Amino acid sequence: MTTRAFLQHRLPPISVIIAGLVLATMIVLVIFAALIAPMDPRDVSSYSLIDMEIPPSFMDGGDPRFLLGTDNQGRDLVSVILFGLRISIIIGIGAVLLAAIIGVALGLIAGYFGGIIDTILMRVGDVLVSFPTILVALLISGVARAQLSGATVSEWAPVILICAIALNEWVQYARTVRASTMVENARDYVRAAKVIGLPSRRIMLRHILPNVMSSVMVIATINLAGAILTEATLSFLGAGMPATYPSLGTLIRIGNQFLFSGLWWIAVMPAAVLVVLVLAVNVIGDYLRDRFNPKLMAH
């Protein structure tokens, strides 16, 4: 009885295992997208308008070459979704990483030094989070569009999106890391390091940082889903990835125009993939949060 209880305690619930498998599959597909996808959506010569608006292969009028059908330009939906998924995941992870790096660094500094440095950093953060992420991101990509040429914007769109999302998201990391840093700061091993005479930077990086990272990992996983959704929203609104290099959000926007003319698959297929992706990440994130840090539930 105890062995089984032990195993049940250690193994995550079945939903988490499924979510993990789904996410792992998506990541493998995305890494090898160029090999798996029947065509390259960025290569104009690989598709033609003749194949436009073909329904999925399992429907009447479907074509076995196009498993999920084609869009209004004749692009194979399987291929555009794979590449769109790739760009969505890259932007999501990139934004989370950038936000985590900024947030952890500022949180450590604020929590370790306290006083006026802490006050300034945290008030700046308060001001930033009082703007909705979408608004800040729209502003940044709007400014970028106004200042740069169309071609440059298309080229730099992923970087602009990553920065726009991270600018708002780092505050949450900074707050959590600041609080954990203050706790660790009062513990004897940090005080011992101070008495030894180690410089502050070394104490922060070598002693405090490894002890606050577990909560950062949990927030990062939860925020990954949010970052992917923000990117999709921006692209859907036209402020994100261009149609020539579409993310899932861009694909949904394109499909949205044809939703009521019977060509539902152009919008629904990428939307379904987005839902599955975000759901999988969320399930894993919730599990990690409950497992490692019950105190974070308020977020």
Partner 1 sequence: MNTQTPPVLDIKNLRVEYPLTNGGTLVAVNDIDLTIRPGEIHALVGESGAGKTTVGNALMGLLQAPGRIAGGSISIAGKQINTRTGRTEGIVPGRDVGAIFQDPMTSLNPLFTVESQLCEGMLAHLKISRKEARARALDLLKAVGIPEPERRLGSYPHQLSGGQRQRVVIATALACDPRLIVADEPTTALDVSVQAQILKLIRDLADERRVGVLLVTHNMGVVAEIADRVTIMQNGSVVESGSARGVLTSPKAPYARTLIAAVPPIEHRLERLPVPSEETPATLKAREAVRGKTRSAAESKEDEPMLAVRELCVEYGQRSFLPSRRTAFKAVKSVSFDVKRGEIFGLVGESGCGKTTVANTIAGLVAPTSGSVHFQGVALEAGRTKSVRQSMQMVFQDPYSALNPRMRINAAIAEPILFYELASNAAEAREDAAILLEAVGLNGQSGERFAHAFSGGQRQRIAIARALGPQPSMLICDEPTSALDVSVQAQLLNLLKDLRDLAGLSMLFISHDLAVIRQMCDRVAVMKGGEIVELAETETLFSSPQHEYTRELLRLAPSLDRILKAENTAA
Contact set with partner 1 (CB under 8 A): 2-3, 6, 187-189, 191-198, 202, 206-207, 210-211
Q: φ and ψ at 77, to 5 degrees?
A: -65, -35
Whichever of 36 and 183 has its CB closer to partner 1, that residue is 183
Q: Packing angle between helix 77-113 and helix 115-129, nearest 10 degrees? A: 150
Q: CB 175 → partner 1: shortest distance, Å?
A: 22
Q: CB 229 → partner 1: shortest distance, Å?
A: 33
Cβ-based neighbour number of residue 91 at 10 Å: 29
Q: CB 209 → partner 1: shortest distance, Å?
A: 9
Q: CB 219 → partner 1: shortest distance, Å?
A: 19
How many residues are given for the chain?
Answer: 299
Whichever of 132 and 210 has its CB closer to partner 1, that residue is 210
Q: CB 110 → partner 1: shortest distance, Å?
A: 17
Whichever of 192 and 275 has its CB closer to partner 1, that residue is 192
Give yes or no for a contact between 227 and 280, defined as CB atoms under 8 angstroms apart.
no
For the record, the structure tokens of 187 come out as: 């513990």
What is the distance between the alpha carbons of residues 156 and 148, in angstroms, rounded to a whole number?
A: 10
Give yes or no for a contact between 156 and 144, defined as CB atoms under 8 angstroms apart.
yes
Whichever of 74 and 114 has its CB closer to partner 1, that residue is 114
Give yes or no for a contact between 29 and 22, defined as CB atoms under 8 angstroms apart.
no
Whichever of 65 and 206 has its CB closer to partner 1, that residue is 206
Whichever of 206 and 291 has its CB closer to partner 1, that residue is 206
Q: CB 102 → partner 1: shortest distance, Å?
A: 23
Three-class SS of 96-156:
HHHHHHHHHHHHHHHHHHCHHHHHHHHHHHHHHHCCCHHHHHHHHHHHHHHHCCHHHHHHH
What is the distance between the alpha carbons of residues 198 and 190, in angstroms, rounded to a whole number?
A: 10
